[in-house]
Amino acid sequence: MHILIIDDHGLYRSGLRAAITANMPDAGIFEAGSIDDAMCGITDSLDAIVLDNRLPGLNGVEGITLLRKKWPLVPVLMLSSQNDPEIVDLAFERGASGFISKGDAADKIVAAINLILRGKFTAPLSESETTLPRLTPRQCEVLDLLCQGMSNKLIARRLMLTENTVRVHVQAVLGFLQVSSRSQAIVAARSRGLIG
């Protein structure tokens, strides 16, 4: 298994490398300080890319498209010190498989890498864990359309998002409602007064 870490801070890359190899001893780790370094310097096949958003030259969100062209089937986990919903949405629209805060504990970041390696999606919580959780405005829109019986494809068209992004929002809504299916989500949302 080969994982590429793209971050302009060498110390952060070293720490993340140590955390990954402690949990995945067979993983080969490549490092790059920018999108350009990754595009020009890495020729090996990859299984996952861990990408910081703040980079010299192209930032991470801008670079996702280039990375997906070079490694189209490789999942990208976006790291950011900001959980700005617009950046999160844009990252998923460009093809990221996950988004996690750079400030999260190393084991949480490694768990997110494991999720994307298994084809799952991961997104940040919209609120800090010290406050009562609530849905973001975008998640409320997705919930409303989900309750109208729309598929992910139709929701994506209506909200002008990718199906990938909608899938992440649906998973977040199901998690928030603590249910495992769309039909359970409708019942839970109605009982909580989240929809009419």
For the chain, 196 residues long, the average pLDDT of each consecutive 10-residue run is 92 90 92 92 88 88 90 89 78 84 83 84 51 67 90 94 90 86 83 69
Token couple for 53? 């958003």
Residue 95 in 3-state DSSP?
A: coil
Q: Which DSSP string corresponds to 118-182?
A: TT--B---SS-TTS-----HHHHHHHHHHHTT--HHHHHHHHT--HHHHHHHHHHHHHHHT-SSH
pLDDT at 134: 66
C-alpha triplet 45, 51, 53: angle, nearest 5°: 150
pLDDT at 124: 64
pLDDT at 133: 53
3-class SS shares of the chain: helix, strand, coil, % to 5: 50, 15, 35
DSSP-derived secondary structure letter, 195 = -
- Tell me whether residue 133 is exposed, middle or buried, using C-beta atoms within 10 angstroms of its C-beta: 0 to 12, 13 to 18, 19 or more: exposed
Residue 67 in 3-state DSSP?
A: helix
Domains and CATH numbers, the chain: 2-117 (3.40.50.2300), 137-191 (1.10.10.10)
Global pTM? 0.65
Token couple for 22? 């402690």
DSSP-derived secondary structure letter, 72 = T
